[in-house]
């Protein structure tokens, strides 16, 4: 039987992050990061288990070359930190989970050995001493939280030694004792600044040199950040927006600049993209752009929240239209504004009723 690879990416700082931040958004952030790591698989890793903050991969009866393994490790670190950078640059939510997510780090443990398997309810999973050893190596004496660790056994298999490998790795040797047995390994701290992070779109703030086409205002008996959460939680939209059939969106994604959702009204799909604009100091601004509202070309809808105190806030809803043709501008003047104002008032009142019932 040929040796197999065990490969465990583990998010550092997970426990503190989950315990000290808002549950819903912290779960979304972790889920996104785990998906990013899974999608970064390029060497045929098999996913055995999602273990909370870690992924347990393996390759049966094959050990990748040193170059393949280091390339895979670098690819995962690059994907992980690219996503964190995107979350940081495009976030609109001020909650603790969204604001501290960029502080998360990553460690990757790689080990090798003969694998045994156990089948439970039709699921075949690695089992045995080497699986235990790989998980033990996650608890080590490395004094940083951002590193790659290769067990001594695996290092011998792929002829890995201490020293520099490329621009990212600088391996050192260490030994820890597990159940009275010394286990050697090589580890390399990873500096995220040396990674070639992926580019991503950072939507610019929308700038208007005119007053809104219409606005509605109301004071709410809830803190500003909580009000923003209710507004950006698409799963509750149908409870306070009248006439909506359903909302389609990614349930495992934190709302941020550039995220999209679909509102279905009377069988018609309206596609929205999250945008923002400059607000006054202390204000929370969330906006949505749709390019499909008849009969205009674009409609921007902004929720501008001004906190009053710990239990109340002021909400101003502003709507901007863009209509290029003369016919559309005429329709806007004659009836579109009136219709949108009526719907905006109903939306604000629906939101007020919904939020007040939960205070």
What does the alpha-carbon distance between residue 28 and residue 93 come to, in Å, rounded to a whole number? 13
Delimit the domains of the chain by residue range.
4-194, 214-356
pLDDT score at 284: 96
Backbone Cα Rg of the chain: 26
Angle between helical axes of 23-39 and 66-90 (0-180°, round to 10)? 150
| pTM > 0.95: yes or no | no
Paired residues of 161 in beta bridges: none
- Has domain 214-356 been given CATH number 3.30.530.20? yes
Give the pLDDT confidence score for residue 21 in this predicted structure.
59
pLDDT 10s digits, 135-185: 999 999 999 999 999 999 999 999 999 999 999 999 999 999 998 899 999
Distance CA 236, CA 354 (A): 9
Q: What's the pLDDT at 20?
A: 62
Q: Of 217, 219, 220, 222, nearest to 310 (Cα)?
A: 222
Question: 50 phi and psi, to 5 degrees?
Answer: -100, 115
Band the pLDDT of 313: cuts 50, 70, 90: very high
Cα separation values, 180 from 102, 176, 177, Å: 38, 9, 6
Mean pLDDT, residues 303-320 taken together: 96
Alpha helices (runs of H) in the chain, residue ranges in sequence order? 14-20, 23-39, 66-90, 96-100, 129-136, 152-158, 224-232, 326-331, 337-356
Task: Give the chain's count of helices (H) and strands (E).
Answer: 9, 17
Q: Closest by alpha carbon to 200, among 89, 289, 276, 99?
A: 89
Q: For strand 116-120 and strand 268-275, is the pairing parallel, antiparallel, or unpaired?
A: unpaired
H or E element that contains 144: none
Contacts of 11 (CB under 8 A, 6+ apart): 30, 33, 34, 53, 54, 104, 105, 106
Kindly report, residue by residue over 206-261, the tens digit of the pLDDT.
989 899 999 999 999 999 999 999 999 888 888 899 888 888 998 888 889 999 99
Which stretch of DSSP H or E encloses residue 191?
A: none
For residue 295, whether the previous peptide bond is cis, meaning omega lies within 30 degrees of 0, is: yes
Q: In DSSP terms, which residues pair with 24 in a beta bridge?
A: none
Q: What is the pLDDT of residue 336?
A: 79
147 phi, psi to nearest 5 deg: -160, 165
**What is the fold of 4-194?**
Alpha-Beta Plaits (3.30.70)
> Distance (Å, rounded) from C-alpha 224 to C-alpha 246?
26
List, for residues 111-132, the tens digit of each pLDDT value: 999 999 999 888 888 989 999 9
pLDDT at 285 over 90: yes
Q: What angle (nearest 5°) sits at the alpha carbon of residue 134, between those of residues 56 and 40?
A: 35
Residues whose CB falls within 8 Å of the CB of residue 101, separated by 6 or more in sequence, listed in order: 17, 29, 84, 87, 88
DSSP assignment letter at 242: T
Task: Report pLDDT digits (tens) over 34-84.
Answer: 999 999 999 999 999 999 889 999 999 999 999 999 999 999 999 999 999
Question: What is the DSSP code (8-state) at residue 95?
Answer: S
Q: Which tens digit of pLDDT belongs to each residue from 91-110?
A: 888 888 888 888 999 999 99
Residue 309 to residues 60, 219, 220, 285, Cα–Cα distance (Å): 58, 11, 11, 17
Residue 239 three-state SS: helix
Q: Cβ of 232: how many Cβ atoms within 10 Å?
A: 22
């Amino acid at each position: 039987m040929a040796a197999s690879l065990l490969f465990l990416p583990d998010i550092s700082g997970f426990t503190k992050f989950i315990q000290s931040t808002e549950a819903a958004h912290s779960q979304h952030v972790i889920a996104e990061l785990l998906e990013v790591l899974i999608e970064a698989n390029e060497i045929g890793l098999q996913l055995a288990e999602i273990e909370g903050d870690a992924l347990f991969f393996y390759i049966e009866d094959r050990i990748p070359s040193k170059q393949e393994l280091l390339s895979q490790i670098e690819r995962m670190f690059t994907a992980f930190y690219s996503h964190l950078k995107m979350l940081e640059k495009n976030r609109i939510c001020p909650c603790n989970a969204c604001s501290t997510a960029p502080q998360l780090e990553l460690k990757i443990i790689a080990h090798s050995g003969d694998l045994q398997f156990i089948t439970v309810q039709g699921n075949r999973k690695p089992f045995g001493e080497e699986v235990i050893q790989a998980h033990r190596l996650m608890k080590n004496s490395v004094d940083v939280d951002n590193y790659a660790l290769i067990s001594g056994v695996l290092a011998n298999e792929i002829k890995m030694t201490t020293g520099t490998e490329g621009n990212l790795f600088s391996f050192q040797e260490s030994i820890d004792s597990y159940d009275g047995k010394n286990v050697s390994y090589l580890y390399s701290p990873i500096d995220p600044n040396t990674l070639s992070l992926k580019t991503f779109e950072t939507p610019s703030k929308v700038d208007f040199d005119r007053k809104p086409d219409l606005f509605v205002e109301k004071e709410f008996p809830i803190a500003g950040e909580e009000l923003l959460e209710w507004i950006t939680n698409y799963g509750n939209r149908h409870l306070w927006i009248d006439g909506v059939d359903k909302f389609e969106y990614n349930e495992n994604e934190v709302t941020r600049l550039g995220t999209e959702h679909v509102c279905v009204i009377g069988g018609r799909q309206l596609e929205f993209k999250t945008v923002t604009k400059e607000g006054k100091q202390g204000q929370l601004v969330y906006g949505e752009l749709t390019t499909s509202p008849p009969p205009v070309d674009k409609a921007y809808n902004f929720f501008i929240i001004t906190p009053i105190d710990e239990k109340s806030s002021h909400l101003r809803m502003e709507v901007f239209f863009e209509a290029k043709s003369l016919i559309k501008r005429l329709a806007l003047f004659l009836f579109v504004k009136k219709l949108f104002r009526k719907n905006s008032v109903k939306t604000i009142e629906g939101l007020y009723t919904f939020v007040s019932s939960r205070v």
